[in-house]
């Protein structure tokens, strides 16, 4: 009899645990509708994985995820073209007042300088990077690498990644007119991976073996160092809505902040931020 009671208790516990695990997606049962998301490209891995899981659990929900950069995220959500506009920077006061936007910071990300894996440079300083982007250092031999002109890549105006890099990595320094502009973290990685003399910058969550991130002022650009404050070139990733989110939009944002959503954020290379209460 005792064994039967223990067995039943264990079964109840296992069912309860299973229900708890499924709970974040359960809230989408019976829901229908479309959710369009656009903006910061650093957000895309998190948004796409969350969308995939939600749509797998409920095929009556359709979620689209696009990039375009932080400026696009603000404009499109403000004008009602998308439901969630992502930014890799905090909203500006005029953006909030113009569109009535509400922000939700869900992750911490660092921005790292990257070079081609074949490049011998393993360490850079703030001053060296300032001088590279200003056009004062033009050849890799000045940095102890194989001689050759430095091909400098940057992001488009309105990019949150660019804003953080400009403010925190090069201290609002001058940008030379010859900087090659690309429109996403993915495009930046491709450009640097294909050019042995390239230098650029990406969100730390995008670093893989296709690019190399030298130490910056002696600090390894990792999410751990970004989270504990040792690495200073950091930013929050935000989801933004026009007014307080309702319905499916609110459910999606709540899911990103759920334990399952936090795991998606972490698996995408970022540090999850708890929801504000």
Q: What is the pLDDT of residue 13?
A: 44
Residue 94 phi, psi dihedral angles, 5° rounding: -70, -30
Same domain, 173 and 72: no
Same domain, 51 and 102: yes
Same domain, 75 and 101: yes
Same domain, 229 and 245: no
Position 178 in a domain:
yes
Position 56 in a domain:
yes
DSSP string, 215-277: EETTB---HHHHHHTSS--EEEEEEEEESS--HHHHHHHHHHHSHHHHHHHHHTT-EE-PPP-
Position 253 in a domain:
yes
* Alpha-carbon torsion (98, 48, 224, 184), positive or negative: negative
Number of other CB atoms surrounding residue 274 within 10 Å? 9
Same domain, 55 and 145: no
Position 78 in a domain:
yes
Inter-helix orientation angle 259-267/2-26, to 10°: 70
Q: What is the pLDDT of residue 9?
A: 45
Q: What is the pLDDT of residue 141?
A: 97
Same domain, 225 and 253: no
Position 177 in a domain:
yes
Residues 6 or more apart in contact with residue 221 via CB below 8 angstroms? 110, 112, 113, 204, 207, 213, 215, 231, 233
Same domain, 135 and 224: yes
Same domain, 77 and 163: no
Per-residue pLDDT of the chain (277 residues; tens, 9 = 90+): 544 444 444 444 444 444 444 568 999 999 999 999 999 999 999 999 999 999 999 999 999 999 999 999 999 999 999 999 999 999 999 999 999 999 999 999 999 999 999 999 999 999 999 999 999 999 999 999 999 999 999 999 989 999 999 999 999 999 999 999 999 999 999 999 999 999 999 999 889 999 999 999 999 999 889 988 999 999 999 999 999 999 999 999 999 999 999 999 999 989 999 988 7
- Structural domain including 222 reads 110-234
Q: What is the pLDDT of residue 23?
A: 65
In 76-218, DSSP assigns E strands to: 84-87, 101-115, 123-124, 151-155, 180-182, 198-203, 215-216
Q: How many structural domains compose the chain?
A: 2
Can you read off the two tokens belonging to residue 187?
């495009």
* 88/90 Cα distance (integer angstroms): 7
Same domain, 219 and 171: yes
Same domain, 99 and 169: no
Bridge partners of 251, per DSSP, are: none
* 267/45 Cα distance (integer angstroms): 9
Rg (CA), the chain: 22
Bridge partners of 107, per DSSP, are: 237, 272
Position 220 in a domain:
yes
End-to-end CA distance of the chain: 47
Same domain, 191 and 216: yes
CATH of the domain at 128: 3.40.190.10
């Amino acid at each position: 009899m005792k064994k039967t009671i223990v067995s039943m208790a264990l079964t109840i516990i296992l069912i309860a645990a299973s229900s708890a695990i499924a709970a974040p997606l359960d809230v989408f049962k019976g829901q229908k509708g479309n959710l369009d998301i656009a903006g910061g490209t650093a957000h895309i891995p998190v948004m796409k994985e969350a969308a995939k899981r939600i749509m797998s659990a409920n095929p009556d929900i359709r979620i689209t995820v696009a990039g375009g950069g932080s400026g696009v995220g603000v404009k499109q959500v403000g004008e009602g073209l998308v439901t969630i506009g992502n930014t890799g920077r905090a909203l500006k006061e005029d953006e909030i007042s113009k569109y009535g936007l509400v922000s939700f910071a869900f992750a911490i990300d660092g921005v790292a300088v990257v070079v081609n894996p074949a490049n011998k440079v393993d360490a850079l300083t703030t001053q060296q990077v300032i001088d590279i982007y200003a056009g004062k250092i033009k050849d890799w031999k000045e940095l102890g690498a194989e001689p050759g002109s430095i091909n400098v890549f940057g992001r488009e105006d309105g990019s949150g990644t660019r804003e953080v890099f400009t403010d925190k990595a090069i201290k609002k320094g001058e940008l030379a007119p010859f900087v090659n502009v690309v429109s996403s973290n993915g495009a930046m990685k491709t450009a640097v991976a294909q050019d042995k003399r390239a230098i650029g910058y990406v969100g730390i969550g995008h670093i893989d073996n296709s690019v190399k991130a030298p130490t910056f002022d002696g600090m390894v650009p990792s999410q751990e160092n970004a989270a504990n404050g040792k690495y200073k070139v950091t930013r929050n990733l935000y989801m933004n809505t026009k007014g307080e989110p309702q319905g499916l939009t609110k459910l999606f944002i709540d899911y990103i902040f759920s334990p399952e959503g936090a795991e998606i954020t972490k698996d995408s290379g970022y540090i999850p931020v708890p929801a504000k209460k």
